[in-house]
Amino acid sequence: MTTFIFDELTGIPTILATNRAKRADQTGAAGSGISTSQTPVNVDRFAKGNEDLTPSTVYQDAEDWNVRVFRNKYPLVEDHEIIVHSPYQDKDIEDLPQVQNVRIMRAFLNRVTYYNSQDKEVMIFNNRGGKAGASILHPHSQIVALKGFPGIIEMEKTEAMKYYNEHNSCYWCDKIKVELALKKRIVHETPHFVLLVPVACRWSYEMLLIPKEHKPNFGYVNDMEINDFTQILKAALWSYNAMFNKPDRNFWIHTMKYEPYHWHVGFIPHIKVFGGLELGAGIWVSDKATPEDAAEQLGENVKTCYREFIG
């Protein structure tokens, strides 16, 4: 069972998950780089043909799978799954063709729908590289499900309700209207999504992807939105690769079952380390570029990705 510990003064949550020290470490993220299993640490556990090295499959797109989902062997919470992006260890979302990225998104949607049907909220997140928290090299995302998420997601939910009560409108819908009017921090706009750099970015070159149509839940996206989403997701990740030589990075999908939430995606490249002000005071320092400059630079690379790889 999940063990949450809450700071007595601030209420900030911590998950106690000492079992994760046992996981294989291929990136140096876990500390020792030594596997506690009989399998050598450098073996690709997520490759096709090595299914016996992971827990049993809970979802796959075909018998000869292209995308596979299984329960995490060292879970953070009781419901914690791994989504393997493809059979290839050297290809991630920004390298894969559109058809494969759509398969990944359909796996995401399958698991969101499954856990929502159990009255659980879901968070999808992606860690690439040791600085971003990854311990396995094979590209994959993770999904965790709980009755409710403490921390940032709960704060967003509370503030979204407060904003709606005060303005009779959605915070994120209003945000993209303002940003599209200003055009200073827009990275890219598609028929269904707006990619931007937040004005109060916590990290240099942080990005936020917001759907134009108001939907609280990622599970409500339609086929046209899925195609558009996979393209802009690929371009956003590709832009980090182009600018920072394939940095360690994270992205996550925040989604809720109920109004007045508005699902969205966050991105951060690991191009700096935490300092004392971030860790000690919780005050983020964005010191590499202004949000406006970051949006312009990222936007040029996103356009290049569309022109050369997406069309």
In 3D, which of 243, 246, 227 has the Cα closest to residue 295?
243
User: What H or E segment, with its residue span, contains residue 237?
Assistant: helix 223-244
3-state secondary structure 266-297: EEEECCCCCCHHHHHHCCCCCCCCCHHHHHHH
The neighbour count for residue 271, using CB atoms within 10 Å, is: 17
Name the nearest CA neighbour of 110 among 169, 146, 58. Answer: 58
Residue 140 known to be catalytic: yes
Cα dihedral 45, 46, 51, 54, rounded to 10, equals 70
- Contact (CB, 8 A) for 161 and 216: no
List 80, 138, 140, 262, catalytic entry: 140
3-state secondary structure (DSSP) of residue 243: helix
Please state whether beta strands 79-84 and 140-146 pair in parallel, antiparallel, or not at all (unpaired): antiparallel
Residues with a catalytic annotation lie at 140
